Structure 1
């Protein structure tokens, strides 16, 4: 069974490979990602995922990550 998680918090210091491994292991589907970045004075910057549950890049804050969620097949 897939756990539904509407919001995922990831620190800028988190490694994309670690985040990917955790998400795949927990079989989590998520729709929104917030990134805490000191450059934004601790404010959370929302990043929306595409419909297929794939989160690609954070070019707007100069940080790259690849995070995959296992969305349920329809």
Structure 2
């Protein structure tokens, strides 16, 4: 990676799915991009807190989440 490259031109190595999603969103934001996530029978346990004894709500997702970005004037 060159020190003369602008930050937006640098590509960092992504090692996790959340990092990939954030990186992709950051690159597309402000470019009129649309990101669509489709879920089919996805199960998520959502914790009520950060401790080991946190209770969990069980969510089941079916459908589409659409994120649209655009530049503001």
TM-score, normalised to structure 2, is 0.29
TM-score, normalised to structure 1, is 0.29
Which structure dedicates a bigger proportion of its chain to strand?
1
Name which one, 1 or 2, has greater alpha-carbon Rg: 2
